[in-house]
Structure 1
Amino acid sequence: MTSSLDDLPLRDDLRGLTPYGAPQAPLPIALNVNENTHPVPDAVASDILDDIAVALRDVNRYPDREFTALREGFAQYLGHGLDASQIWAGNGSNEVLQHILQAFAGPGRTVFGFAPTYSMYPLLAQGTGARWVAGERQPDYTITPEEAVAQIEQVDPDVVLLCSPNNPTGTPLGLDVIEAVYAAARGVVVVDEAYHEFAPHDAPSALTLLEGRPRLAVSRTMSKAFAFAGARVGYLAADPAFIDALRLVRLPYHLSALTQAAAVAALRNSDVMLGMVEEIVAQRDRITATLEALGYTPHESWSNFVLFGGVSDPKATWQRLYEQGVLVRDVGIPGHLRVTAGTEAETTAFLDALASIESAS
């Protein structure tokens, strides 16, 4: 006999919800989930495999619960005078964010972010029993310090999530906004810098603000710039006391020995791994310029994707691209679609397919 969710004693606040998930379709050009579409270079892959082979010899034992070598690697990679005591990591930045909400949000508490933003934020909040409150942005998706402070003071959240650059819009976020939000907030402030490596080289990171701000955390991921989406490794930097709070909620041995080995090896090859970032940025800028030429309205992006408006019928355009073997993302913003910057060939395939559909409205 087959049961349904309705037959189970599910939490009331989860009834009627659907799981998170972007379409996964076997199309030749998949540009819908902001992956790095460049494969890991062969030499680096061989180095990673060597380290995994060594880790396998002791896989009968539990891994290093404190993932010490990996935290030291992240501290060295990030710089800014950080050390391992200020680093945390998890199975993707989503798990890192979940740890934060488990420790600082939960039932009776509020999580706040400026919408539109990363679609997992409200889901993570709900999963931990917290209330999600969506703030507002300017029509061009920017945020001013004054407006941010006014909204923070009105909501008084326990956790503020700031996506910088923002997903799904690609919008940069000034450090002045982060400083103002931190000063106005009572709770913790998390700056999600998942796409920071794609920002201009002179763009300052929120890591520069950590000193003297124990309620501030800056999260990163290896999924994007490091082409490591399938390995599931995210991390953050914060005050050591903040890290101690996350230890209270993490599952024991949550990072496998194989994950730790792979990530340490990838970090050791960071120069090679990040060599593809410049090409991705070039394709992103090419997409922006071509979209403008086609009559669409691309938004400024400091990420590896472009959100563009002027799409008269996003669902129809999405379907027409799909039929030509190109998968992009309808993020639910009226008149808009989002596309990841892929390889030169993938980018060409997308632009050619879009141009063949019809001119923008």
Structure 2
Amino acid sequence: MTSFPPIREELRGIEPYGAPQLDVPVQLNVNENPYGPSPEAVADVAAAVATAAATLNRYPDREFTDLRRGLAAYLNTSGGSGITPEMVWAANGSNEVMLQLLQAFGGPGRSAVSFAPTYSMYPEYARNTMTEWVTGHRAEDFSLDLDAARRLVEERRPSVVLLPSPNNPTGTALPPEAVTMLCEAAGEGVVVVDEAYGEFRRSGTPSALELLGAHRNLVVTRTMSKAFALAGARLGYLAADPAICDAIRVVRLPYHLSAVTQATASAALRHAPELLGNVAELRAERDRTVSWLREQGFTVADSDANFVLFGRFADRHAVWQGLLEHGVLIRETGPDGWLRVSIGTADEMTAFRDALTIVMKTEQMRDTP
């Protein structure tokens, strides 16, 4: 050992994951729902937490039975059918759900596959569980090249395939035939379709929940952080064959979901129609943003999420910095030359468009001899 602390060598010098948290007027960088819970929902959450607080001297229900019932009922109205509580698992954000999946099904001597560009935390889950990380690549329009994807999965035989749909950071959704093909190609491997942004998908874009009955190795993950406007509660969940949920129990930490988290999430589910009430407006605002960006001459990825990836910039950091100087924070992520903007309120998106117009004029003047 050459230095203290004795951190694993592959972790030495690595910066922790995290988007900038800056106090600016317009924050459009972490794909939050800009519309907070209603007073009614807040009151119900507060009452549920107060009830839970009276029992905090005891450990919570480690099987979170009531919450699983509520999540199953919700999923059966959100693209699924026949989903039972035994098919549902939850954890502290979909990040912990993913980590538990890699703990259960990855590990030394095993591999996980995904297709870049994709969510930047995936390789970190693999690293932290000592799972070999294998990266395939997407087509020019960020769709999945099905033949190439099949070949890679059949060649590498991964124990886990990670497929975000809609993809982050591109917003690209997977067609059902891609999910079916990869479930078949993976054999006994687990295929995880990450639908963190599933509620924002465009009309006619199906959920992978519809395929659960056909593929026992399919896992569909969701979160309450995005469409439910519950990012501060940290509740992610999945639907899968009960045997997969049973396997995750082996690696979960004792009583991993607190009584407060369970009470908060269950209360939010009682207000699902209300909390999801602004999803349609966010979809419309996303589509308006895509149209406007294309009218300005940008290349824009088709999006089924609550964010838009656009470019291409010779110096994307300069554009990001220019927007920040005008009080608008977006995300410098994805392939080189691209930026991602989360969809906010109508006023926030107006501020974004105004700031981007000014910044691009400044950049053009700087580039003019």
TM-score of the aligned structures, taking structure 1 as reference length:
0.96
Query: Secondary structure, in 3 states, of the residue corresponding to 1:356?
Result: helix
Q: Deviation digits for residues 238-282 of structure 1, max 9, x if unmatched?
A: 000000000000001100001100100100110001001011111
CA contact (8 A) 1:47 1:265 kept: yes
CA contact (8 A) 2:62 2:256 kept: yes
Q: Note if 1:101 corresponds to 2:102.
A: yes
RMSD over aligned Cα atoms: 1.4
Superposition deviation, residue 201 in structure 1? 3.4
Q: Note if 1:280 corresponds to 2:282.
A: yes
For residues 304 and 212 of structure 1, what CA distance do their matches in structure 2 show? 29
1:184 equivalent in structure 2: 185
CA contact (8 A) 1:111 1:161 kept: yes
Superposition deviation, residue 326 in structure 1? 0.5
For residues 99 and 214 of structure 1, what CA distance do their matches in structure 2 show? 18
2:306 equivalent in structure 1: 304
Q: Deviation digits for residues 7-36 of structure 1, max 9, x if unmatched?
A: 122112212321101111111111011111
Residues 6 and 283 (structure 1), Cα distance of their counterparts in 2 relative to 1, 3 Å cut = farther
Alignment of 1:152-191 (within 5 A): 152-186=153-187, 187-191=189-193
For residues 358 and 182 of structure 1, what CA distance do their matches in structure 2 show? 44
TM-score of the aligned structures, taking structure 2 as reference length:
0.94
CA contact (8 A) 2:191 2:218 kept: yes
For residues 222 and 111 of structure 2, what CA distance do their matches in structure 1 show? 23
Superposition deviation, residue 109 in structure 1? 1.1
1:110 equivalent in structure 2: 111
Query: Secondary structure, in 3 states, of the residue corresponding to 1:275?
Result: coil
For residues 222 and 148 of structure 2, what CA distance do their matches in structure 1 show? 26
Moved over 4 A (4+): none
For residues 47 and 334 of structure 2, what CA distance do their matches in structure 1 show? 43
Superposition deviation, residue 214 in structure 1? 2.0
Q: Note if 1:239 corresponds to 2:238.
A: no
Alignment of 1:124-139 (within 5 A): 124-139=125-140
Aligned residues: 358
What residue ranges of structure 2 are gaps of 5+ in the alignment? 365-369
For residues 335 and 14 of structure 1, what CA distance do their matches in structure 2 show? 28
For residues 104 and 359 of structure 2, what CA distance do their matches in structure 1 show? 49
Superposition deviation, residue 154 in structure 1? 2.1
Residues 353 and 54 (structure 1), Cα distance of their counterparts in 2 relative to 1, 3 Å cut = same
Alignment of 1:215-230 (within 5 A): 215-230=217-232
The one-letter code matched in structure 1 to 2:297 is G
Superposition deviation, residue 212 in structure 1? 4.0
Which residue of 61, 71, 74 maps to 2:58?
61
For residues 212 and 351 of structure 1, what CA distance do their matches in structure 2 show? 44
What residue ranges of structure 1 are gaps of 5+ in the alignment? none
Superposition deviation, residue 310 in structure 1? 2.4
For residues 348 and 147 of structure 2, what CA distance do their matches in structure 1 show? 41
Percent identity reads 53
Q: Deviation digits for residues 56-94 of structure 1, max 9, x if unmatched?
A: 111111101000000000000001111100000000000
